[in-house]
Structure 1
Amino acid sequence: MISMQPNLCHLLLSLVLLSVSCSKPKEVASLTAKALISEKVTELYATGTAETHNELTYEGAMDMFTVSEKKILATRHWSFEVNVPVTVSVMRSKKQRHLPFWLEENGFEKTSMEVSNEMTDYEVWQKQFDRGSVGLGINGLENYKYHYFVCVTPQFPNETLQISNIYPENQFIGTMDNGAFTYHDWDELVLFDVPEKLKGQQLLTTVRGRGTESHLVDAFRITKFPSSQKADQVMLTWSDDPATSVDIQWRTATSVQQGSVFYRPIGSPDSLKVPAQKSQMEDLRLANDRHTHRFTAKIRDLNPGTTYEYKLNTQAQWPEEQHFGTPSDDDSFSFIWYGDAHYSPDWGTIANQAFRSHPDAAFHAVAGDLVSDGLHRDQWDELFAYSERIISQKPFMNVLGNHDNRMGLGAHMYRDLFSYPDNGPSNIPQEHTYSFDYKNALFLMIDATSRDELQTEWIEQQLKSSNATWKFAMFHFPPYNWEEPYTNIQKEWIPLFDKYHVDMVFSGHIHYYMRSNPMYDGKVVDHHSQGTSYIISIGIPSGPKEIGEEDYAATRKSEGQFYQVIKIDGKTLTYSAIDAEENVIDEVTLSK
């Protein structure tokens, strides 16, 4: 095999990219920096492999861009208009290896001022602008995690500053001062040691993940499970009444243009056909599977208490493992839930163990952090590969964790992958928070990564209108835990759980196991009929570690991985937590 030194690779790559740009002139007048990076990635994929792409150095990446393209990178990452002459301050982390190339080139000067938060110190760079447009550049090409932020003030104190036409949209504008947010997706990370000269200025923050928009150095990934013409990731969910409906989702390569599902009661010679809706998913930096097609077929008007088999239009036979059941009209059922999965094969092992040991469970659910980066589709590919036998037979009903809704960039990949009820609060993204009834139980599936107070009214409406015997809530952040209690959840939601008697709350995030005694108003009470049990679990191996005191805890485990089975028979509930060796480490029975 012939190998080339990295510098030679970069030279040849630059020549190839130069020939591409020379042979096909492009209109760059309206390109944003983000769009330009996307075009460059497309050109990169025309040469080499993901391995050679990841040999790209910072200098080699900069050499990919022409002078006019560098101007786009320098001015069209973040822009706005001002109505008066201003001084713009850019706060740039001192830990960042490469100074954003455009700061000095665009006339910014480093001052003696610094600003800090608990994670890093920031240099202050300044430049004066006339009234009109202000254009700022990319954070860098290496995806440094602490993006710069900005404050703006009029050059003449008697003038009133108005900032408008901001790109990207939905810009948060605050006031520069001690205690101000550094990033508007991380309200715990606040500024201190703000110089007096900067206090009171208009503060423009961004989200932590914005640096990914220009990420080229060590940016490219490979999925172990690329798509093909053969359908895979076949998965069941509910977006409507579980008694009469089911949604079936699957993945193919983009060469497959149409999809449909055939289904029938087991034993019936006659089948029905439902067409599937197609969508295209993109993971720009997934080098061997950038685009895939996702299909969703929504089956309605099913008969309760019936077992169905199904096949996709690409399948000649009826696969033995593709079937689902609708609930009967009795009040007996079970379900399985897990703490954090983080796309781990260890989670896949215990999940399949739970599936084999409890084949009658109606559905499986993860209380957030299904993966470690929700915008990396290769991680979702692994999660689905490890659970394929489960999710093709049992609905997979989950909630978002902070790793699924990543770094302020949203959870669009999660939404693209799962079909859930759109009955949640109107002021957060649909299908992030939702509810469903299964037999005599209500399930509130809540997005704890969205603002708590925006969901309080919806939670009360759901609980107030429910006649369910059993009420459960699942969300990622545990309100009670030894490490970082979530006091805002305690303030916003727990009074409602008390008022309407939610039986159990399921969470993850803190990697250990804990079941509380029944609690009301933050205090332990004598009997389940008087309060709620709060449970934390972890679906991957964790510990051992020291954990602090929790006087409300009934059972705790600082080491291990677990799954939980809840069995309901009318007004009796049996809860069991089971470890990877199939030992029951916690069990309780409740009656009403």
Structure 2
Amino acid sequence: FPAASMYRPTPMPDRVTLTWNDNPATSQAVTWRTDGSGPALAQIAPADPSPYLEKLATTLPATDEPLQTDLGFTATYHTAEFKGLKPKTQYAYRVGDGTNWSEWFHFKTASDKPEPFSFVYFGDVQNGIRSLWPRVVRRAYAEAPDAKFFLYAGDLINRSNQDQDWGELKNAPGWINGSMPSIPAIGNHEYEKDPAGDIKLSFHWRPEWALPTNGPKGLEETCYSIDIQGARIIALNSHRQQADQVPWLEERLKNNPNRWTIITFHHPILSSAKGRDNKELRDMWKPIFDKYKVDLVLQGHDHTYARAGFETVPSSINPQQKSGTMYVVSVSGSKMYDLVPQDWMARRGEDTQLYQIVRVEKDRIVYESRTATGEKYDAFELRKQKGQSNKLIDQKPKTPERRRPATKPASES
């Protein structure tokens, strides 16, 4: 069936996606797509069990942004921002043109105070988006339906400007995207060289998400931070202008009122795949992580699974001390690489699609990595200790690591 027919927009809204570009306790952003044949409107009301939501709703206009796709049609993307919301409150909303409406979705605003919450972390989607990734995201939602958001560590698609990839990405979770916000970090596959050879951000990135613009100049919506219920979530852009992010990152960490700090980006500080080592990035960013005692760093790019142990990752400030920051590399799509075992790894994996459920509480972070079929693959806790680095409680299961069989030399085969 031709992709140009499958993904052609209509007057009916599709690719409805929640994100934040402001305070999660008092605001919510939503993006969607149509053929642009009508006005763009959003309606919102306090969630109510009655079927009379339309009578309770407030209507507001949305912005329009046309996008000429590689499939030969123009899609119109819309963004609405709900402001002045009440914390810890469930709302109902829908989007459309006044005649052609989406279904009513529900979302709940965050608390304006520190409170426990959970989220789901995905490594690279990138490949098998339509065929193999849907089982991962749907299993994750079944395990954590009350998670506050999905977090993506870059390379959500394979071909930055191909509409089919973006359609597959949004269709896999489907309606879930309209009820659970996304926090995406950007990867190298969200960039592409233009005819002049310059590396450019995907035309789809801004229309598909509405993200904060509080990052460094030139990196708006690809480098940003969000505070939610006692945690600061920072998404960095590891593909472009890495040095420009250093002073911004230092300010975000120095002036951080939150108890927990979680950072996500694409290229790992500690690489797990064969032939890869991001030394320049590590030398640039890791000392800042160590200085400000970042709690958790969630990454992708290497299409394997690797999780650190504290004793095997020295501090960049004092090599005699342990780092105290937990580093993870994971993968959720179907593309897999060879893993190179290294001393820093406490748990490893190959050829395994995974999702991670992370629960943030007052004094601890509880982490579980699960396979596409739901088995626990890794687990740990980070516990706050006054005046000291976090305490790591390793809870990895006793099941064997999933590793590729060793390849015999040609003379032995």
TM-score normalised by length of structure 2: 0.84
In structure 2, distance between residues paired with 1:506 and 1:452: 17
In structure 1, distance between residues paired with 2:180 and 2:345: 32
In structure 2, distance between residues paired with 1:316 and 1:534: 49
1:286 aligns with 2:80: no
Aligned to 1:260: 41
Aligned to 2:7: 225
C-alpha contact 2:88 2:108 (8 A) present in aligned 1: yes
Aligned to 1:532: 325
Q: Offset of 1:547 from its aligned partner?
A: 2.4
In structure 1, distance between residues paired with 2:320 and 2:124: 29
Aligned to 1:336: 120
Aligned to 1:241: 23
Aligned to 1:439: 229
The structure 1 residue matched to 2:141, chosen from 338, 348, 355, is: 355
In structure 2, distance between residues paired with 1:273 and 1:245: 15
| Structure 2: gaps of 5 or more residues | 194-198, 385-413
1:304 aligns with 2:95: no
Aligned to 1:521: 315
In structure 2, distance between residues paired with 1:255 and 1:319: 15
Q: Offset of 1:225 from its aligned partner?
A: 2.1
The structure 1 residue matched to 2:266, chosen from 452, 476, 487, is: 476
In structure 2, distance between residues paired with 1:411 and 1:488: 25
In structure 2, distance between residues paired with 1:461 and 1:397: 21
SS of alignment partner, residue 453 of structure 1: coil
In structure 2, distance between residues paired with 1:222 and 1:230: 17
1:422 aligns with 2:213: yes
Q: Structure 1 320/260 Cα, relative in aligned 2: closer, same or farther at 3 Å?
A: closer
Q: Offset of 1:321 from its aligned partner?
A: 6.0
C-alpha contact 1:224 1:382 (8 A) present in aligned 2: no
Aligned to 1:184: none
Q: Offset of 1:240 from its aligned partner?
A: 0.2
Q: Structure 1 521/330 Cα, relative in aligned 2: closer, same or farther at 3 Å?
A: closer
Q: Offset of 1:410 from its aligned partner?
A: 2.5
C-alpha contact 1:517 1:525 (8 A) present in aligned 2: no
Q: Offset of 1:315 from its aligned partner?
A: 6.8
Q: How many residues end up aligned between the 2 structures?
A: 366
Residue deviations 1:155-208 (CA, integer Å, cap 9, x gap): xxxxxxxxxxxxxxxxxxxxxxxxxxxxxxxxxxxxxxxxxxxxxxxxxxxxxx
In structure 2, distance between residues paired with 1:350 and 1:591: 28
Aligned to 1:590: 382
In structure 2, distance between residues paired with 1:524 and 1:475: 24
Supply the AA of the counterpart residue of 1:453. A
Q: Structure 1 241/540 Cα, relative in aligned 2: closer, same or farther at 3 Å?
A: same
Supply the AA of the counterpart residue of 1:556. R
C-alpha contact 2:339 2:349 (8 A) present in aligned 1: no
1:554 aligns with 2:338: no
In structure 1, distance between residues paired with 2:320 and 2:92: 47
In structure 2, distance between residues paired with 1:223 and 1:402: 28
In structure 1, distance between residues paired with 2:320 and 2:13: 52
In structure 2, distance between residues paired with 1:567 and 1:524: 30
C-alpha contact 1:311 1:317 (8 A) present in aligned 2: no
Larger radius of gyration: 1
Aligned to 1:568: 360
C-alpha contact 2:315 2:321 (8 A) present in aligned 1: no
The structure 2 residue matched to 1:277, chosen from 63, 69, 88, is: 63
In structure 2, distance between residues paired with 1:349 and 1:430: 32
Q: Offset of 1:525 from its aligned partner?
A: 8.1
Aligned to 1:496: 288
SS of alignment partner, residue 403 of structure 1: helix
Supply the AA of the counterpart residue of 1:333. F
SS of alignment partner, residue 166 of structure 2: helix
C-alpha contact 2:31 2:207 (8 A) present in aligned 1: no
1:508 aligns with 2:300: yes
Residue deviations 1:344-379 (CA, integer Å, cap 9, x gap): 122222101111221110000211111111111221
Aligned to 1:384: 170
Aligned to 2:252: 462
In structure 2, distance between residues paired with 1:366 and 1:226: 26
1:250 aligns with 2:32: yes
Aligned to 1:185: none
SS of alignment partner, residue 151 of structure 2: strand
Supply the AA of the counterpart residue of 1:292. A
In structure 1, distance between residues paired with 2:153 and 2:351: 19
Residue deviations 1:326-361 (CA, integer Å, cap 9, x gap): 112351100011011116122222101111221110
C-alpha contact 1:232 1:250 (8 A) present in aligned 2: yes
C-alpha contact 1:241 1:437 (8 A) present in aligned 2: yes
Coordinate RMSD, CA, aligned? 2.2
Supply the AA of the counterpart residue of 1:224. M
Q: Offset of 1:398 from its aligned partner?
A: 0.2
- Counterparts in 2 of 1:25-40, with a 5 A limit? none
In structure 2, distance between residues paired with 1:555 and 1:495: 24
Residue deviations 1:37-88 (CA, integer Å, cap 9, x gap): xxxxxxxxxxxxx99xxxxxxxxxxxxxxxxxxxxxxxxxxxxxxxxxxxxx
Q: Structure 1 330/521 Cα, relative in aligned 2: closer, same or farther at 3 Å?
A: closer
Aligned to 1:578: 370
In structure 2, distance between residues paired with 1:504 and 1:278: 37
Q: Structure 1 337/321 Cα, relative in aligned 2: closer, same or farther at 3 Å?
A: farther
SS of alignment partner, residue 412 of structure 1: coil
- Counterparts in 2 of 1:1-16, with a 5 A limit? none
Percent pairwise identity: 28
Q: Offset of 1:265 from its aligned partner?
A: 1.1
Q: Structure 1 570/316 Cα, relative in aligned 2: closer, same or farther at 3 Å?
A: farther
Higher RCO structure (Cα 8 Å, ≥6 apart): 2
